[in-house]
Amino acid sequence: MLSHFTVDCVIYTFHEAQLKILLTERNEYPYKGWWALPGFYVEKDEEMEDAVKRISYENTGLKDIYLEQLAAFAGVKRHPEGRILTVAYVALVRYDNVKNKVKPVTSYMKQAKWYPINHLPDLAFDHREIIQLSVEKLKKRLSYSLAPFELLPEKFTLTQFQQVYEALLGETLDKRNFRKKINNLGYLKELDEFQTGVSYRAARLYKLDRRKFQKLFE
Amino acid sequence: MLSHFTVDCVIYTFHEAQLKILLTERNEYPYKGWWALPGFYVEKDEEMEDAVKRISYENTGLKDIYLEQLAAFAGVKRHPEGRILTVAYVALVRYDNVKNKVKPVTSYMKQAKWYPINHLPDLAFDHREIIQLSVEKLKKRLSYSLAPFELLPEKFTLTQFQQVYEALLGETLDKRNFRKKINNLGYLKELDEFQTGVSYRAARLYKLDRRKFQKLFE
DNA sequence: ACAAAAGTGTTTAGTCTACACCCATGC
DNA sequence: GCATGGGTGTAGACTAAACACTTTTGT
């Protein structure tokens, strides 16, 4: 008897100075009408990483996104039909790449919507707990992973970069100290381009210097 | 159709200045005669945390040990009979508590034995990969978790404490700097007791000051 | 001219690193 | 008395934190 299980995706993005998670409104028993993480059964011969890619693609229209396993959840009572184990994954996407693509893809869900991590609706199953754990893990990774860059557009301002940190840490940071620190890290490349369309002084744009980042972490 | 899956335990201890992992010699198809992590199927109505406790108890004779989920492994080809998902857990135990208790408990295993993490035999399934991941994770947790204290006896010398760090980090540390650092942390309580049975100057014993440790991490 | 956010340095306190010798004990 | 690990301090480099004003741009 082989394993029968699901995967669920916690898909993050950064928009309007907030971290947001993609939720879908279920259109099927159980928890019909409730909001839930995008997720589904893994096929018999499908690697679970592929299942996650498939599901996140169906929900965001994006391939090749940053994915990482979070944990398995297998509470005997987590599913009303009996124990169904789920493996949760975290995905990070850029809002620009995704903003007009999010839509319900199958009849299983009515709609998909981005919710700020501080204002989530009631959630199906144990999805609240899954999200909670994912936030904590992301927080820890912040300063020694590419996570911030997967959430931001390719070219970003230092203020945006700082906002990602602030949103996850849940506290405000000193602008000068923050800039000094990232300057020391040395893996941000200063561009000769500036923000457009703002009614105040346009900020310089930066991007990640991948080569320097790699070196720093061997 | 409910989930059918296993749990596997990476059980660490610290002995002879080395980190060791408990392995069992399998006495059943598949991988009969191979060394493997202790693990087994989770019962239909059994929480997986309970299954891990059961399996680690059967193999070490200890209850209430430090347990933490590592990750789920679900490669389609990881098991010769077809995909069986496993959830790996990490457990840390004190060698003193366990040294005479380890034995084969069921007919499924011929024997159990501690192997230093640097000298592991060939392993069944994807267990090498599981161990690899667990070492990396433990390394990261080292300095902000109770992990070192779960591996050491309740009363330990500073040299033993340092050896735990060295074994996991895979490098030697400067004695003076190490002692200065842990002094600053301030959660080691100096005892008025000393090592016995050594043929050189007896080292002072220390133990964890749990109250101070808690405070440090809120 | 005003509103909004960009950008920019210095001082002080704390932490990290490198480094070598004497001490106590058991045999 | 010798072998073995136990135990100790200091100087220099680096990192972290606190803190406020001027500049640029669009309306």
Residues A39 and A93 in one domain: yes
Nearest-CA distance from B16 to chain A in Å?
31
**B1 contact A CB<8A:** yes
How many percent of chain A have pLDDT more than 70?
A: 97
The per-residue pLDDT for B93 is: 95
Residues A72 and A106 in one domain: yes
For nucleotide D26, the protein residue with its alpha carbon nearest to C1' is A199
Domain assignment present for residue B163? The answer is: yes
3-state secondary structure of B75: coil
Domain assignment present for residue B149? The answer is: no
Domain assignment present for residue B30? The answer is: yes
Contact B85 A3 (CB under 8 A): yes
Q: Which residue has the higher pLDDT, B62 or A172?
A: A172
pLDDT of B143 > 70? The answer is yes
**B50 contact A CB<8A:** no
Residues B98 and B173 in one domain: no
Residues B20 and B119 in one domain: yes
Indicate if CB(B159) is under 7 A from strand D.
yes
> Per residue, what are the HEC states of chain A?
CCCCCEEEEEEEEEECCEEEEEEEEECCCCCCCCEECCEEECCCCCCHHHHHHHHHHHHHCCCCCEEEEEEEECCCCCCCCCCCCEEEEEEECCHHHHCCCCCCCCCCEEEEEEEECCCCCCECCCHHHHHHHHHHHHHHHHHHCCHHHHHCCCCECHHHHHHHHHHHHCCCCCHHHHHHHHHHHCCEEEEEEECCCCCCCCCEEEEECHHHHHHHCC
CATH number, domain with residue B120: 3.90.79.10
Domain assignment present for residue B66? The answer is: yes
The per-residue pLDDT for B106 is: 66
For nucleotide D14, the protein residue with its alpha carbon nearest to C1' is A184
Last residue of a domain, one of A115, A144, A173: A144
The per-residue pLDDT for B103 is: 67
Sign of the Cα torsion B109, B112, B117, B118 reads negative
C-alpha A57/C-alpha A50 separation (Å) is 10
C-alpha B100/C-alpha A143 separation (Å) is 44
Residues A51 and A130 in one domain: yes
C-alpha A151/C-alpha B185 separation (Å) is 35
Take residue A72 and report the two structure tokens written for it: 């398995």
Residues B138 and B162 in one domain: no
B44: which DSSP letter? T
Q: How confident is the model at residue B104 (pLDDT cuts 50, 70, 90)?
A: low
Last residue of a domain, one of B144, B163, B182: B144
pLDDT in tens, A43-101: 999 999 999 999 999 888 888 898 999 999 999 999 999 999 999 999 999 999 987 77
The per-residue pLDDT for B98 is: 86
CATH number, domain with residue A189: 1.10.10.10
Q: What is the mean pLDDT of residues B188-207?
A: 95
Indicate if CB(A200) is under 7 A from strand C.
yes
Please say whether the beta carbons of A20 and A120 come within 8 A.
no
Lowest-confidence segment of A98-107, B123-132, B195-204 by average pLDDT: A98-107
Contact B71 A72 (CB under 8 A): yes
Domain assignment present for residue B63? The answer is: yes
Nearest to B133 by CA among B73, B44, B86: B73
The per-residue pLDDT for B147 is: 95
Nearest-CA distance from A171 to chain B in Å?
16
Indicate if CB(A32) is under 7 A from strand C.
no
Contact A3 B2 (CB under 8 A): no
Q: How confident is the model at residue A203 (pLDDT cuts 50, 70, 90)?
A: very high
Residues A31 and A106 in one domain: yes
Chain D nucleotides covered by protein, CB below 7 Å = 3-10, 15-20, 23-27
Last residue of a domain, one of B144, B170, B187: B144
Domain assignment present for residue B1? The answer is: no
Q: How confident is the model at residue B107 (pLDDT cuts 50, 70, 90)?
A: low
Q: Which residue has the higher pLDDT, A88 or A111?
A: A88
3-state secondary structure of B101: coil
Chain B residues in contact with A88 by the CB 8 A cut-off are none
Q: How confident is the model at residue A110 (pLDDT cuts 50, 70, 90)?
A: confident
Residues B44 and B139 in one domain: yes
Domain assignment present for residue A50? The answer is: yes
Residues B70 and B178 in one domain: no
Residues A137 and A77 in one domain: yes
| Residue B189 CA, nucleotide D11 C1', distance (Å) | 29
Residues B171 and B88 in one domain: no
Range of the domain at B24: 6-144
Closest partner CB to A5 (pick from B3, B48, B82): B3
Nearest chain A residue to B82, by CA:
A2
Domain assignment present for residue B212? The answer is: yes
Number of domains observed in the structure of chain B: 2
| Residue B168 CA, nucleotide C20 C1', distance (Å) | 27
Residues B57 and B95 in one domain: yes
Residues 106-145 of A with CB under 7 A from strand D: none
pLDDT in tens, B18-46: 999 999 999 988 999 999 999 999 999 99
**B205 contact A CB<8A:** no
Q: How many CB pairs lie under 8 A apart between chains A and B?
A: 68
Indicate if CB(B181) is under 7 A from strand D.
no
The per-residue pLDDT for B216 is: 85
